[in-house]
Amino acid sequence: MTRHEMDRKTTVIKVGGARLARGEDLERLAAHVRELLNSGERTIVVHGGGPEISELHHRLEVEVEKHEGLRVTRGEGMDLTVMVLCGSVRTRIMEHFAAHDVPALGLSGADLGLLRAPLLDADLLGRVGGPPAVDLEQLERLLALGAVLVITPVSLGPDGRLVNVNADDAAHAIATAVGADSLDFLSNIPGVRDGEDEVIDQIEPAEVPQLVDEGVVRGGMVPKLRAAVAAVRAGVTRVRIGNLSTLADDRATEITVEKGAGS
């Protein structure tokens, strides 16, 4: 890595599937990424596609099953997941980026062995992988091309076959590996809400278990928040959860290190 590359900031953006079906949302995302490029930041976009995967399951009458926010992925379900994430969703992102003159390279975690993940629980979840190991050397070579990397979290499992990795886990693993300055979990909500439906400004990692136990955080927000905590504890400088508006205005939820940590 050159000195110039070391001096450049790196931003990782995880985009939830709900943001990827609406053209206007993709237009705003593309414009946001264009601004990051103009400011000289290296940018990686990790995307999900859960709603479209579920919709295809329903259309083909394949059962949809979830456990603590993770999609149980077996047999035909793995094939459908790959079709949506590596096909329609990623191609749609690339289309909008091209329209905004954003040079982008689309990849899956399986390409070049970029992401390799252990199976979480084959009996309970099927082909679902945990937080992946990142081939940092390959990732840095790709970033050196100067393009935005658009990464699908379909990864390689310990047996060399494809696994479905939660996009939140993939994003935090990638952000940690590259020493990202910022990791933003882009969602369709302004931030993590409390019991009064108000956005929580800051959350310390130690507070997360209680938020989950009390049902304040549930569904897909559970793995998102856990991934955010893992990233903070691994040293990512800034980790936030929100939509484009609250992220731009610094009104999103920020996951902070515990008070006194590192002192």
User: pLDDT tens, 181-230?
Assistant: 999 999 888 999 988 889 999 999 989 888 988 888 888 788 888 889 99
Name the token pair of 46. 């990790």
35-57: average pLDDT: 93
CA nearest to 165, candidates 85, 251, 59: 85
Place of tokens 């290190």: 257
pTM of the model: 0.90
**What is the model's pLDDT at position 157?**
97
Q: Tell me, what's the pLDDT at 70?
A: 79
**All residues at 6 or more sequence positions from 117 whose CB lies less than 8 Å from its CB, including other chains:** 109, 129, 130, 131, 132, 133, 155, 156, 157, 163, 165
- Give percent above pLDDT 90 in the chain: 67
171/176 Cα distance (integer angstroms): 8
Average pLDDT of the residues in 149-158: 97
The rounded distance, in Å, linking the Cα atoms of 103 and 80 is: 28
Sheet holding 238-242, edge to edge: 104-108, 148-152, 42-47, 10-15, 182-186, 238-242, 253-255, 202-203
- Strands, E, within the chain: which ranges? 10-15, 42-47, 66-67, 70-71, 104-108, 115-116, 128-129, 133-134, 148-152, 154-156, 162-165, 182-186, 202-203, 238-242, 253-255
User: HSE on the CB side for 161, CA within 13 Å?
Assistant: 10
Query: Which domains are seen in the chain, by residue range?
Result: 3-255 (3.40.1160.10)
Give φ, ψ of 169 to 5 degrees.
-65, -40
